[in-house]
Structure 1
């Protein structure tokens, strides 16, 4: 008989993460209630909470005496003073930095000019993080971790495999940024990161099975299945934007033709409008034209909506998710795209599967990628926390707000 060795450190790390998020989502929860909700035995919870309290992550508060018999209730809260996490969303034209306290509450937001030159992009991201820390009067030592979310293929090892919209191949952008920031950094595809943020901070905290689709310069997908993002054997799964909609159709940034991204992304819609002589330059211009009844805008959005619905039908037929979440520019354009998309979706999805699928718009909106970075930084921190925290308090982290 072969015995399976239990990795106790891994189990403890998983349990620590579970307890952290339950406390984060239920401020003031009691230790007894925490045991009931998590299913973790009280003795294990006591050890983990003691460790989290010793490192400054969790704070215990005791109710004032009431004069009645029995022990006073002890409430558990995440101590936001422990330090900061930075989420970086990289696009070709802009780099956005969101600074959050360790409980995931955003406290600063900075946008700097983007670059397709890797070293310049890393330096710009560094300058954005420093500016964000400065805006809340926190020193660099208060930064506990950084997450980078960018549009492209990212390996399990955290290297950019191919980011066509940035023109990057086989690149370790995290290492470039680490030379400036000197703290743990985790890199992920922007939509996978956004899917994690949707589960941690968005409207999908209640389910563990959904597909997140985000659009901006491209179209990407995050398959959140059985409580985690499905990455595949090499970390590259979920490239929904490169489903083939039209064989031999429009050229896509990936080098192929007929991809969903070439018909539905913000960039594709703007390019098609420009080809038809329309002057819209951004999502706001598209929305303005739609609201004004512009025939060209409505025709282009009708076509984009048709292909979006067809892509969603393919996903539903294959994956059968409980929910599909639209994020990024797809969320902003949803009122314009969904009429044609729903018609196409119902015409092509299997009714028996479709009836159990919910289609929603992400509440994170344009914050999805940088908040995805915050989620990555939080995962990195929980996977490998420093032995002794408290450095946020020593480096000005109390000076927020």
Structure 2
């Protein structure tokens, strides 16, 4: 019996430590007395747990706050520079990477084009990017706490990419490869899920319970957040709404289906149609639109109409508070937005469209890479608290 009681006390201490750390993360700067008020834990317990967190380099004392009559209280802050995390957005034609501190602040970033999609070449580029970011990390008590990667495909719970149609990858055990190479905890997820997490934590989705993040790049992926939780579906593979059929007998898709939404509304679809106008990149199209090129403006309106058609389906099915459009095509927000909104107004059910807002990602192209880095930070916190 005595041993069980000791075990129970250790568990209670871990739970209480987690509660105190959460209070500091959410409400700092604050005093020990304020933590006691917020959590309901007594002052002696809070004082002991705070000291443990200070000794663990996770909490800092920053000097006196405002007095409420007695001695000025010592204020506490979370030590965001106690460690660092690497986030990677592995795109079809780019790799984007960040080094962030434990509060998600960006310390270093890099981006490079990906000229070939074969796994051997792309993985070599990915490893090199991660190594470069790790070398940028300042000295810290916890060092690099983990790596998060968003990928354009279906990922299982072991971090294996089962199928990435636009990369033409199948069965790539990415988590295992990276853990063996770097000896760090690694989290792999679909890039649209990572983007949804990025916008919910740091961007346009903050504090919004039901949101659908639509990643519009070479393909289209979606991250579904319901009641503030990422929805993964029965097998963990939800969110492949880029492969909704919007034309019954439409173009064949690399996924094996026909008439998929991403064939008509993605960056790839835009570039295919832009070739006839003499443009071969999104950047050139943005410049042409900014200079008032009517052919390019009409093309953006058409792509916006297709995007709106798919978003209307999402609105009718999920009835979200917001739909957030992110990834590369969010750079064209100014020219896409009117057509998207018109299509949603025309196609969505009236009760659904009354309250939904269509937004563009606050983090623009960085939603997924910020979300990937957050996965690594979150895994570190869950280990600290467990």
Using the size of structure 2 for normalisation, the TM-score is: 0.87
Residue 35 of structure 1, CA deviation = 6.2
Residue 231 of structure 1 is matched in structure 2 by: 232
Residue 101 of structure 1 is matched in structure 2 by: 101
Give structure 2 stretches of 5+ with no counterpart: 1-7
Residue 273 of structure 1, CA deviation = 1.6
More off after superposition, 123-132 vs 207-216? 123-132
CA 301–69 in structure 1, closer or farther in 2 if over 3 Å, else same: closer
Residue 299 of structure 1, CA deviation = 3.0
Residue 289 of structure 1 is matched in structure 2 by: 288
Distance, in Å, in 1 between the alignment partners of 2:15 and 2:243 is: 34
- Aligned partner of residue 95 in structure 2, secondary structure: strand
- Aligned partner of residue 277 in structure 2, secondary structure: coil
Question: Relative contact order (C-alpha < 8 Å, sep 6+): which is higher?
Answer: 1
Residue 397 of structure 1 is matched in structure 2 by: none
Residue 265 of structure 2 is matched in structure 1 by: 264
Distance, in Å, in 2 between the alignment partners of 1:120 and 1:346 is: 44
Tell me if structure 2 keeps the 8 A contact 1:118–1:173. Answer: no
- Aligned partner of residue 42 in structure 1, secondary structure: coil
Tell me if structure 1 keeps the 8 A contact 2:108–2:136. Answer: yes
Q: Over residues 144-184 of structure 1, what are the superposed CA-to-partner deviations in whole Å (9 max), with x where a residue is unaligned?
A: 11000011111233221211111111221121122221100
Residue 91 of structure 2 is matched in structure 1 by: 91
Residue 63 of structure 1, CA deviation = 0.5
Residue 198 of structure 1 is matched in structure 2 by: 199
Tell me if structure 2 keeps the 8 A contact 1:151–1:163. Answer: yes
Number of equivalenced pairs: 376
Give structure 1 stretches of 5+ with no counterpart: 1-6, 388-401
More off after superposition, 259-268 vs 24-33? 24-33
- Aligned partner of residue 92 in structure 1, secondary structure: coil
Residue 111 of structure 1 is matched in structure 2 by: 111
Tell me if structure 2 keeps the 8 A contact 1:122–1:176. Answer: no
Distance, in Å, in 2 between the alignment partners of 1:372 and 1:79 is: 20
CA 141–226 in structure 1, closer or farther in 2 if over 3 Å, else same: closer
Residue 218 of structure 1, CA deviation = 1.0
Residue 324 of structure 1 is matched in structure 2 by: 323
Distance, in Å, in 1 between the alignment partners of 2:206 and 2:46 is: 22
CA 174–302 in structure 1, closer or farther in 2 if over 3 Å, else same: same
Tell me if structure 2 keeps the 8 A contact 1:244–1:260. Answer: yes
Tell me if structure 2 keeps the 8 A contact 1:113–1:124. Answer: no
Tell me if structure 1 keeps the 8 A contact 2:204–2:324. Answer: no
Tell me if structure 2 keeps the 8 A contact 1:309–1:340. Answer: yes
Tell me if structure 2 keeps the 8 A contact 1:324–1:358. Answer: yes
Residue 230 of structure 1, CA deviation = 0.1
Residue 47 of structure 1, CA deviation = 7.0
Distance, in Å, in 2 between the alignment partners of 1:261 and 1:10 is: 49
Residue 3 of structure 1 is matched in structure 2 by: none
CA 31–256 in structure 1, closer or farther in 2 if over 3 Å, else same: farther
Residue 289 of structure 1, CA deviation = 2.3
Q: Over residues 225-275 of structure 1, what are the superposed CA-to-partner deviations in whole Å (9 max), with x where a residue is unaligned?
A: 11210001211111121111111212333232211111111111101222x
Distance, in Å, in 2 between the alignment partners of 1:244 and 1:86 is: 36
Tell me if structure 2 keeps the 8 A contact 1:125–1:177. Answer: no
- Listed as ranges, the matches of 1:1-400 within 5 Å are 23-24=24-25, 26-34=27-35, 40-43=39-42, 49-63=50-64, 69-114=69-114, 115-138=116-139, 142-274=143-275, 277-385=276-384
Tell me if structure 1 keeps the 8 A contact 2:137–2:144. Answer: no
Distance, in Å, in 1 between the alignment partners of 2:106 and 2:355 is: 34
- Aligned partner of residue 242 in structure 2, secondary structure: helix
